[in-house]
Amino acid sequence: MVEPLLSTDRLVKRFGGLLATDNVSIEVRPGEIHALIGPNGAGKTTLVGQLTGTLAPDSGSVRFAGRDVTRLPTHARVRLGLARSFQITAVLREFTALDNVALAVQAHAGHSFRFLADARADRRLRDPARRGLESVGLGDRADTLAASLSHGEQRQLEIAMALAGDPKLLLLDEPMAGMGAEESQRMVGFLGALKGSRGMLLIEHDMDAVFALADRITVLVYGRAVATGTPDEIRAHPEVRQAYLGEDAA
């Protein structure tokens, strides 16, 4: 059996009396799209925090690309190939779209203790950045300030930034949030095209998108992973139907 790309082993996180992550063990395999779904308050964001390193678990461990990364800070996990996009759009608003992606490229191009050379004239950063922008369909927006991009474009820009370091795993925190139907469709198409090239952990509320894209789905309810399986298995799972899909599937 292939070793999973990302896995957690009985992860626990408490906030006071609230058990936000309750013995969660999940696996993302190389090349698969693994969706994480669950109602609001299920602990998705808390789990993401522990995967990316912004939150420390109370117990349990996180393994990524064959290493225990439980104690590794965020930037070190990113270096290993764990990239993410944010639930609330996080681009560098005062920078152009191209600058945004070029900085993402730079993050993976050795250290940045270089004080004198003009980074904006550095083709080792600009060329891959331009290709990255083109790959998400923002080629003609390169010189636009990120703040002036539409919401959908900013989300595309985020994906381009996350992809810049050629990550092994892409953690997508609600990539369709706030998008119109048409923009969502385009994003689904784009993520579908990326499928197989790298592992993806997709946290998303848009069930159409989840069932269209995911190879496997894990359902989180009250901090617990109640089920993991293929989309068909999840649709048929009685506990899931009751806890979560109830109103949706009826």
Please count the residues of this chain forming the interface with other proteins, following the rule CB under 8 A: 35
Question: Is residue 119 part of the contact set for other proteins (CB under 8 A)?
Answer: yes
- The correct pick among 17, 94, 123, 248 for binding other proteins (CB under 8 A) is 94
What is the separation of C-alpha 179 from the centre of its chain, rounded to a whole number of angstroms? 16
Query: For other proteins, what does the binding mask look like between residues 137 and 176, x meaning CB under 8 A?
Result: ------------------------x---x-----------
Q: Confirm if 194 and 160 have CB atoms less than 8 A apart.
A: no
Query: At its nearest, how many Å lie between other proteins and the CB of residue 244?
Result: 28
Question: Is residue 108 part of the contact set for other proteins (CB under 8 A)?
Answer: yes
Question: Is residue 177 part of the contact set for other proteins (CB under 8 A)?
Answer: no
What is the C-alpha separation between 66 and 109, in angstroms, rounded? Answer: 23
Query: For other proteins, what does the binding mask look like between residues 51 and 80, x meaning CB under 8 A?
Result: -x--------------------xxxx-xx-
- The correct pick among 18, 56, 90, 181 for binding other proteins (CB under 8 A) is 90
Q: Confirm if 148 and 93 have CB atoms less than 8 A apart.
A: no
What is the C-alpha separation between 199 and 96, in angstroms, rounded? Answer: 28
Q: Closer to other proteins at the Cβ: 143 or 182?
A: 143
Q: Closer to other proteins at the Cβ: 73 or 196?
A: 73
Nearest CA among 157, 99, 108 for reference residue 126:
99
Q: Confirm if 33 and 192 have CB atoms less than 8 A apart.
A: no
C-alpha distance from residue 223 to each of 62, 123, 226 (Å): 16, 46, 9
Question: Is residue 86 part of the contact set for other proteins (CB under 8 A)?
Answer: yes
What is the separation of C-alpha 149 from the centre of its chain, rounded to a whole number of angstroms? 21
Question: Is residue 122 part of the contact set for other proteins (CB under 8 A)?
Answer: yes
Nearest CA among 211, 223, 193, 225 for reference residue 27:
225
* Contact residues: other proteins, CB under 8 A: 52, 73-76, 78-79, 83-84, 86, 90-95, 99, 103-104, 106-108, 112-120, 122, 125, 161, 165
